[in-house]
Structure 1
Amino acid sequence: MRNTVLLYLLLSLFASASLPVNAATQPMAESPPTAVIERQAGLVNLNQADVMTLQSKLTGIGRSKAEAIVAYRSEHGAFETVDELLEIKGIGKALLDRNRDKLTVK
C-alpha cells in the first residue's frame, strides 16, 4: 500500500515536471495578419468588412444598412474616415456615435 502511494506520487511529480519542457519546445506560430488582430480587438474595418460582419458586429445595423455601406464603398472607394458613414442614407449621427468605438478605416 505504501509503495503504491509512493509510486503514484512519483508518477505525478514526473508528469508535472515534463509539462513545462513540452510547452517550451513547441514552435511559435507566426503573427496573425492585421485583419485577425482587428477582429480580436473588436474593431470592424469599414474598408474590408463584408455585409455579415457589419450586420453582426455593429449595433443598429441590419442587412439593408450593411448592404448600403458595402455599396457606398464600391461606388466611392475606400472610406477615409469613419464620419463618411453619415453620407449613407439611414445612418445618422446617433447611430454612428453608438458604433464609433467599434470602427476603423485602415
Structure 2
Amino acid sequence: MQKLRLSSLLFAVLASFSLAAAAAEAPKTESAKPAAAQVAQVAAVNLNTADAATLQRELAGIGATKAQAIVAYREEHGNFASVDELLEVKGIGEATLEKNRDKLSVN
C-alpha cells in the first residue's frame, strides 16, 4: 500500500515537472518567429540612398565592384524609378535581381 502511494506521488511530481518544462519552452519558440518576420520587413535597401558598402553587405551576389557600379549608375542617370531598372547596371542580371527583389525599394 505504501509503495502504491509513493509511486503515485512520484508520478505526479514528475508529470508536474514535465508540464512546467514544456510550458516554459513554448513561449520562447513562438516569440522568435514574429521577431524574425519583423526583421525581414524592416531590412529593405533603398537603391536611391544606399551607399556601396550597404549594398555590398545587404544584397546577395553583390560584391564591391557591382555595388560601386550601382552607385555610379545612380549618380550618372539619377534615381532609380523602379527596382527593375537595376537590370540596366552592367553586371546585374535577372538572377541577381530575383535573389534580392524582396530586399529592395526605390522610395
TM-score range, shorter chain: 0.5 to 0.7
SS of the residue 1:101 aligns to: helix
Normalised by the length of structure 2, the TM-score is 0.62
For residues 1-106 of structure 1, the aligned pairs below 5 Å read 41-106=42-107
Structure 2 CA distance, aligned partners of 1:89 and 1:76?
13
Structure 2 CA distance, aligned partners of 1:90 and 1:68?
8
Aligned length: 68
Once the two structures are TM-superposed, the CA of residue 89 in structure 1 deviates from its matched residue by: 1.0
4+ runs deviating over 2 angstroms = none
Structure 2 CA distance, aligned partners of 1:89 and 1:75?
13
Aligned letter for 1:97? Answer: E
Once the two structures are TM-superposed, the CA of residue 58 in structure 1 deviates from its matched residue by: 0.1
Bigger share in helix: 2
Q: Which has the larger radius of gyration?
A: 2
- Give the gaps of 5 or more residues in structure 1: 1-39
Once the two structures are TM-superposed, the CA of residue 74 in structure 1 deviates from its matched residue by: 0.1
Structure 2 CA distance, aligned partners of 1:105 and 1:57?
15
Normalised by the length of structure 1, the TM-score is 0.62
